[in-house]
């Protein structure tokens, strides 16, 4: 199937940055992206929470926006836009899931539940883990640090973080992703 006239027009509007074009694009393809994420997570045996699903959805749409719509500009119209976006979304979801797994392992080492031989944390272990986590959080900007602290150290939900900080709920995941990447990049190995 080739590119439909409706999708061609929508794509042209996005690339020309016409008013409401991006919103129309997201409205048209949000269901497809969510379906791809769910299928990708299921096929990789990843437990998909609503927060993770929303984060991955945001990551995919941000990837489409990145570098002035570079991914959309590379589309040649030799298949349907939905088919192209399915491949792009699957690749982005897999990449994001892999990065999140690496980030979680990296952050998990710093915020680890360090245990002694019988599986219980000692007071000293808690202090060491907390000190290392605080050191890593200290390299972040104020807003990022607050979100990471509330999510990883205080076990708050996205909704609770949003209420405490005034940051929209759908912005919490991307802030966490950027903060984790920054901590990984700036922390000594």
Tens digits of per-residue pLDDT, 26-63? 999 999 999 999 998 888 777 888 888 998 999 899 99
Instruction: Average the pLDDT over 13-25 and give the result.
Output: 95
- Mark whether 22 and 99 lie in a shared domain: yes
Residue pLDDT, tens place only, 64-75: 998 999 999 999
- Mark whether 98 and 127 lie in a shared domain: no
Residue pLDDT, tens place only, 117-144: 344 444 444 444 456 566 677 777 788 8
CA distances from 1 to 5, 29, 81, 84 (A): 12, 17, 9, 11
- What is the residue range of 181's domain? 111-186
The enclosing domain of 9 has a CATH number of 1.10.1740.10
In the prediction, which pLDDT does 8 show? 93
Q: Which two tokens stand for residue 121?
A: 């944390």
Q: Which of 54, 85, 103 is the last residue of a domain?
A: 103
Cβ–Cβ under 8 Å, residues 129 and 110? yes
Length of the chain: 189
Farthest CA pair distance, the chain:
65
- Mark whether 128 and 91 lie in a shared domain: no
Cβ–Cβ under 8 Å, residues 172 and 151? yes
Q: Which two tokens stand for residue 145?
A: 């640090």
Name the one residue in this structure whose structure tokens are 């409205």.
Answer: 27
Whether residue 92 has pLDDT greater than 70: yes
- Mark whether 10 and 95 lie in a shared domain: yes
The enclosing domain of 140 has a CATH number of 1.10.10
Whether residue 160 has pLDDT greater than 80: yes
Name the domain count of the chain. 2
Verdict on whether the full-model pTM lies above 0.85:
no
Q: Count the neighbouring beta carbons within 10 Å of the beta carbon of residue 78.
A: 10
- Mark whether 14 and 96 lie in a shared domain: yes
Cβ–Cβ under 8 Å, residues 140 and 158? no
Residues 6+ apart with CB under 8 A from 159: 169
- Mark whether 97 and 177 lie in a shared domain: no
Instruction: Average the pLDDT over 161-182 and give the result.
Output: 86
Ordered DSSP codes for 117-128: TTS---HHHHHH
Rounded-to-integer distance, Cα 23 and Cα 28, Å: 9
Q: Which of 42, 75, 103 is the last residue of a domain?
A: 103
- Mark whether 67 and 127 lie in a shared domain: no
Q: Count the neighbouring beta carbons within 10 Å of the beta carbon of residue 179.
A: 26
Name the one residue in this structure whose structure tokens are 């984790």.
Answer: 180
In the prediction, which pLDDT does 132 show? 59
In the prediction, which pLDDT does 13 show? 95
- Mark whether 48 and 78 lie in a shared domain: yes
In the prediction, which pLDDT does 108 show? 52
Nearest to 170 by CA among 52, 85, 87, 88: 52
């Amino acid at each position: 199937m080739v590119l439909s006239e409706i999708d061609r027009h929508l794509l042209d509007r996005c690339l020309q940055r016409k008013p409401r074009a991006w919103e129309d694009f997201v409205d048209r393809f949000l269901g497809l992206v969510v379906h791809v994420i769910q299928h990708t997570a299921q096929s990789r045996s990843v437990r998909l929470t609503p927060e993770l699903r929303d984060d991955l959805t945001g990551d995919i749409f941000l990837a489409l926006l990145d570098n002035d719509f570079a991914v959309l500009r590379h589309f040649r119209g030799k298949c349907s836009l939905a088919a192209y976006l399915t491949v792009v979304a699957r690749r982005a979801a897999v990449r994001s899931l892999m990065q999140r797994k690496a980030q979680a392992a990296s952050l998990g080492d710093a915020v680890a539940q360090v245990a002694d031989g019988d599986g219980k944390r000692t007071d000293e272990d808690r202090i060491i883990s907390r000190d290392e986590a605080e050191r890593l959080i200290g390299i972040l900007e104020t807003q990022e640090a607050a979100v990471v602290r509330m999510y990883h150290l205080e076990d708050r939900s996205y909704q609770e973080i949003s209420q405490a900080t005034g940051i929209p709920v759908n912005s919490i995941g991307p802030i966490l992703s950027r903060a984790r990447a920054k901590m990984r990049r700036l922390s000594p190995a």
